[in-house]
Amino acid sequence: MNETRVESTTLLALAYDDAHMVLRLEFRSSAIYHYYGVPAAVHEALLGAPSKGSYFNRVIRGRFPCALCAGAQPGSAGKL
């Protein structure tokens, strides 16, 4: 996964694994979540979205299975 730093008040960075359709989101709160089964088009649209947090809430949050990465701070992804 290649990490991309983003301009956002919600997200710090994101990465995408094409082979496994896994989107990794690092929130400004230090929480890191993996979202599974995310199409590449959703990743591309997130990169281009003027508001990454709004796009996340509309398109990703609650629509894809996710897991908090070990060692990350809990709570960010569900409280945007």
What integer pLDDT is reported at residue 1 of this predicted model?
Answer: 82
Q: How far apart are CA 50 and CA 20, in angstroms?
A: 26
pLDDT digits (tens, 9 = 90+) for 16-50: 999 999 999 999 999 999 999 999 999 999 999 99
Q: Nearest-CA neighbor of 10 among 41, 65, 49?
A: 49
Q: Which amino acid is located at 16 in the chain?
A: Y
Residues belonging to the chain: 80
Q: What is the pTM of this model?
A: 0.86
- Alpha helices by DSSP H, listed for 1-80, are 40-48, 52-55
Please state the domain extents for the chain: 2-68
